[in-house]
Structure 1
Amino acid sequence: MQPQRGRAIPTAALATAADVIDIVPYLLGFHPVESIVIVGLSERNGRAPQVCLTARCDLPPAPMDPGAFSPLVAPLASTDSDCVVALVFTHHHPAASGDVPQHLHDVALACALVGLSVVDLLVVGQERWWSLTCTDSGCCSPGGNERRSTSASAEAVFAGLVALPDREAVRGQLAGQTRHERDRLEPALAKAENRLTEAVLKGRLSTSLRADLRAFTARLDRHPTEGTAGRAMTRAELARFGVALTHVEVRDELWFRVDERSVDADDALLELLRRLPPPYDAVPLLLFAWSQWRKGNGTLATMAGERALDSDPGLSAARVVLDTVQLGLNPARTPPLRSPSANVGTQRFG
């Protein structure tokens, strides 16, 4: 089971089950289908419940041992969550499929094993939803409750979050040119590789890489929005930056800058990962994944990290990103990759 971490939105206050259902697509970044979703909440200090972490996995086709849900549940135990809401998003009516309620009860047991109380178990259809814990027919009728928009989704939209139609729409953000189109960059990439080889022979590799990094970061300030005609990177630029990023010194320096948000590299990284052939697209995918995790978008971060490993299985740094997401670390509380004090008395690359 591969859980999919969602966005952490500590400012989202939830008062009802309808609020939780309404905001889940914004927490994940897409509308889940045939999915189990767990929303970790904090009810401390007498406040309205606050979202700490959201996790998702595919709805299993058959009942499973409750322990099988441990990878989904465990990360919530390391957050400020003190209770959870477990939901199944499905096209099946809960009365028509005995497996759906059983899945939710198994998730509830898995939560209890790590000390998390379950405040509600919800089955969510396309138009209606049901609570498996509410016995008040005046609140939750046997026919279910109508799905409706609430202030929770309005708050998510105000925070700049988007709920795409499905997971494939999220994955589509990483799609780009065909392999044939990408392979047309091979001559330019070979030329860029040869340039750095010559720099090595002349003892000027570090100087050349610094120049490449400066050129890339300078471009970030003027990188066009997607769709602006005539201003995409040239093949020579794509090759120059793609080759430079395969060098750890350049990669890590840009990683630090992305992490501390001293640069906004997302648009440029997207162009690189959409146009470069493997394995040159691996580092742009890695850096984009880290940027998305820092922004709370665990879904896209996971997809980009997995693609980075597919492109370059030897890129161990991509595993760091995936482990960070899978562990459910809070991006707002995780320390920066390097503290300011770490730079005292040292010269930064670039």
Structure 2
Amino acid sequence: MTTDTPTYTISERADLLGYVPYLLGFHPADSVVVLGLADRRIGVAARADLGQPRPETVRRLSRLLTAAGRGSAAITSVVLVGYGPDPAAADVTRSVANALDARGYHVREVLLHAGERYRCLQCDDCTPPGGAPFDPSSTAAAAIATYEGLVAQPDRATVERLVQPVGGLAAIAMAQAVGRAEQRLAALVHDAGRDDSGERAADERLVRAGAVAVEDALRVAEGGGRLDDDAAAWLTVLLLDLRCRDHAWQLTDTEPWQLDLWLDLTRRGEPALLAPIASLLAWCAWRSGNGVLAGAAVRRALLADPAYTLAHLLSEALDQAVPPGSVGPWPVS
């Protein structure tokens, strides 16, 4: 992920390690993590599985560092952190660090986090032989990240589960609500079609209904409320129209309550209606700096509609490590 978080100084290795899970959105395991620094500021954070072929890991991380460097400031140095049992994680992390160094990236630190300890992989005497004790929850960086509203899920699988569909009675109730919403939409279009203007009147009513539904949903979410099944189903049906989707897109940015709204609807949405909702969740998560959740949402959107353009645009932005801050606010109309 790229980072657009508040600025504060990290001066200790323990604080750096305590902050990494909040940069990624989850606590990594069996991973190699790279932090790209623009001067002394973290510009990008990315991870790869320890078991992934090393040439592939190096190519992917290099591509992300290069892409991040095209933003506001070039990446001038990197920090590598391995997560997993020594010696396997140590060997992979050293190898990736050496490969990035050979590609011209100045490697400032190479650390290994294993269990409740960490150690330096660049020298033998700057951390104890058995590693320095480490409790990520007690670091100042973790406390500051929590204060700023950043969340670190227990693991990556937990992030993926956040976007999984509801089941049981909740899913049945939502399916019934979608049926009612589709009948309501058909009636709206049919009634408008009786006017002299015919198709144009139906189209205008559809656009107007979509705008009202989007704005009502955002108003409820901003007030801390949750859409009932009928309101949620009506919105998801209308979001299939690109003009309605675009209206929601223009009104969605980085507010936590917006993230809650689109996450809730992604979990409750009917599979056939999911691509717009999950794409809006991905947009909000990406703009908020939560690349892992954005990626999970994009995958759900593309599962619903493999050709959905907005999901592909966001997938490309994530793959290329495009900084969220590189996209300005929508122009005021």
Q: Shorter-chain TM-score: which interval?
A: 0.7 to 0.9
Q: 5+ unaligned residues in a row in structure 1: which ranges?
A: 44-48, 344-350
**Residue 186 of structure 1: how far off its partner (Å):** 4.7
**Residue 169 of structure 1: how far off its partner (Å):** 2.1
What residue in structure 1 maps to residue 14 of structure 2? 18
For residue 326 of structure 2, give the secondary structure of its aligned residue in structure 1: coil
Q: Percent identity?
A: 29
Q: Give 2:48's aligned amino acid.
A: C
Cα 1:196/1:317, change in 2 over 3 Å: farther
Within 5 Å, give how 1:191-270 maps onto structure 2: 191-195=183-187, 197-198=189-190, 201=193, 202-203=198-199, 204-223=202-221, 232-259=226-253, 265-270=258-263
What residue in structure 2 maps to residue 162 of structure 1? 151
What residue in structure 1 maps to residue 160 of structure 2? 171
Q: Conserved in 1, the CA contact under 8 Å of 2:178 and 2:230?
A: no
Return the alpha-carbon distance in structure 2 between the equivalents of residues 269 and 163 of structure 1.
Answer: 19
Q: 5+ unaligned residues in a row in structure 2: which ranges?
A: none
What residue in structure 1 maps to residue 128 of structure 2? 141
Return the alpha-carbon distance in structure 2 between the equivalents of residues 115 and 252 of structure 1.
Answer: 42
Cα 1:252/1:184, change in 2 over 3 Å: same
What residue in structure 2 maps to residue 348 of structure 1? none
Return the alpha-carbon distance in structure 1 between the equivalents of residues 255 and 285 of structure 2.
Answer: 15
How many residues are matched? 317
Q: Conserved in 2, the CA contact under 8 Å of 1:37 and 1:87?
A: yes
What residue in structure 2 maps to residue 190 of structure 1? 182
Within 5 Å, give how 1:274-313 maps onto structure 2: 274-313=267-306
Residue from 25, 31, 38 that aligns with 1:35: 31
**Residue 225 of structure 1: how far off its partner (Å):** 7.6
Return the alpha-carbon distance in structure 1 between the equivalents of residues 98 and 86 of structure 2.
Answer: 22
Cα 1:67/1:220, change in 2 over 3 Å: closer
Residue from 65, 86, 89 that aligns with 1:76: 65
For residue 324 of structure 2, give the secondary structure of its aligned residue in structure 1: coil
Return the alpha-carbon distance in structure 1 between the equivalents of residues 324 and 118 of structure 2.
Answer: 32
Return the alpha-carbon distance in structure 2 between the equivalents of residues 8 and 288 of structure 1.
Answer: 18
Cα 1:114/1:159, change in 2 over 3 Å: farther
1:319 paired to 2:308: no
**Residue 296 of structure 1: how far off its partner (Å):** 0.8
1:59 paired to 2:50: yes
- Shifted more, 269-278 versus 167-176: the winner is 167-176
Deviations 1:240-270 (A, max 9, x none): 21111011111112111214x6995333323
**Residue 18 of structure 1: how far off its partner (Å):** 1.9
Return the alpha-carbon distance in structure 1 between the equivalents of residues 158 and 3 of structure 2.
Answer: 17
Cα 1:193/1:222, change in 2 over 3 Å: closer
**Residue 143 of structure 1: how far off its partner (Å):** 1.0
Q: Conserved in 2, the CA contact under 8 Å of 1:70 and 1:110?
A: no
**Residue 193 of structure 1: how far off its partner (Å):** 4.5
**Residue 113 of structure 1: how far off its partner (Å):** 4.8
For residue 332 of structure 1, give the secondary structure of its aligned residue in structure 2: helix
For residue 23 of structure 1, give the secondary structure of its aligned residue in structure 2: helix
Return the alpha-carbon distance in structure 2 between the equivalents of residues 125 and 267 of structure 1.
Answer: 34
Q: Conserved in 1, the CA contact under 8 Å of 2:220 and 2:227?
A: no
Return the alpha-carbon distance in structure 1 between the equivalents of residues 36 and 291 of structure 2.
Answer: 15
Q: Give 1:19's aligned amino acid.
A: D
- Structure-2-length-normalised TM-score: 0.85
Q: Conserved in 1, the CA contact under 8 Å of 2:35 and 2:42?
A: yes
Return the alpha-carbon distance in structure 2 between the equivalents of residues 120 and 234 of structure 1.
Answer: 50
- When the two chains are superposed, the root-mean-square deviation of aligned CA atoms in Å is 2.6
Residue from 19, 41, 44 that aligns with 1:50: 41
Deviations 1:45-83 (A, max 9, x none): xxxx3221110122216xx34354211232223333211
Deviations 1:68-111 (A, max 9, x none): 42112322233332111111111x123xx3xx233113322442
Cα 1:18/1:213, change in 2 over 3 Å: same
Q: Conserved in 1, the CA contact under 8 Å of 2:285 and 2:293?
A: yes
Q: Conserved in 1, the CA contact under 8 Å of 2:182 and 2:237?
A: no
Cα 1:219/1:10, change in 2 over 3 Å: closer
Q: Conserved in 2, the CA contact under 8 Å of 1:199 and 1:205?
A: no
Cα 1:163/1:175, change in 2 over 3 Å: same
Cα 1:58/1:237, change in 2 over 3 Å: same
For residue 222 of structure 1, give the secondary structure of its aligned residue in structure 2: helix
Q: Which has the higher helix share?
A: 2
Deviations 1:297-336 (A, max 9, x none): 1111111111111111121210111111221122123334
Q: Conserved in 1, the CA contact under 8 Å of 2:48 and 2:57?
A: no
Q: Give 2:205's aligned amino acid.
A: T
Deviations 1:145-183 (A, max 9, x none): 111333222221221112221122222322342285354
Q: Conserved in 2, the CA contact under 8 Å of 1:40 and 1:54?
A: yes
1:9 paired to 2:1: no
Return the alpha-carbon distance in structure 2 between the equivalents of residues 128 and 68 of structure 1.
Answer: 25
